[in-house]
Amino acid sequence: MSMLQNSVLGFILLMLLSGLYGEKILHRDKRYLVFPFQGTFKTVYSFAVPWKLGPKQEMGVGWNFQFQYALPNSTDVLTNYPPSISRETRDINDEVVLSDRKIFYDGVESMLDSRDINGRECLLRTICENQYYSHFDDESGLLGQILHVFLTPNSKEGPDPELDEIYSDAQKAGVFGADCSTAFPKCNMERSFFDTFAIFGQ
């Protein structure tokens, strides 16, 4: 064979081989980021309040909220999703999903009850005071605005159907300027929630 024929044959073979292997190179499976075994992702939010006890005495009260999630160490976790539940597609026979306010109110009441404080009555008083002092301005900060949302049972969407009407009544009492400590006398907290944590300032 002449050199020209060898060159043409070599070129054709090269093109065929590159065509065969080129398809394999261009087609790749999706890749995922996988973390080492027992890896975790953690966020911690802290809320601290300075408390003046005397001329030379101070105390700090703090709460930490920690969220910790296990990181995936296998691609199966990233491709197998649990069935999603949304308000639009949920069947009426499905398990009832509690509202955020209902969970928050139940948690606050249980926490206060465990400290020998009338949880229901004091929460109602706090809801009333939230509306009475109301109308959070920018000085109350992000935490104050979040608390205002949670302590407002009747939002713009209307009353929460999962909440007892007594919460809405407490909100109305504050809106109409009722004396909240008189309206809810069974609350055995020495100070109101807002006086204790000075969210509204002096």
**pLDDT tens, 144-182?**
777 888 888 887 666 777 788 898 899 889 888 888 888
Same domain, 65 and 107: no
Q: What is the DSSP string of 163-181?
A: S-HHHHHHHHHHHTT--HH
Q: What is the 3-state secondary structure (H, E, C) of 90-129?
A: CCCCCCCCCCHHHHHHHHHHHHHHCCCCCHHHHHHHHHHH
Same domain, 71 and 152: no
In this prediction, residue 124 carries a pLDDT of 92
The pair of three-digit structure tokens given for residue 29, joined into one six-digit string = 């499976």
Same domain, 122 and 188: yes
Distance of CA 188 to the CA centre of its chain: 30
Number of domains into which the chain is organized: 2
Residue range(s) defining the domain that contains residue 66 = 30-81
Same domain, 142 and 60: no
Same domain, 137 and 72: no
In this prediction, residue 13 carries a pLDDT of 75
Same domain, 162 and 133: yes
**Degrees, nearest 5: CA angle 155-164-157:** 20
Same domain, 62 and 106: no
CA distances from 9 to 3, 14, 18, 64, 111 (A): 10, 9, 14, 74, 84
Share of the chain above pLDDT 90, in %: 5
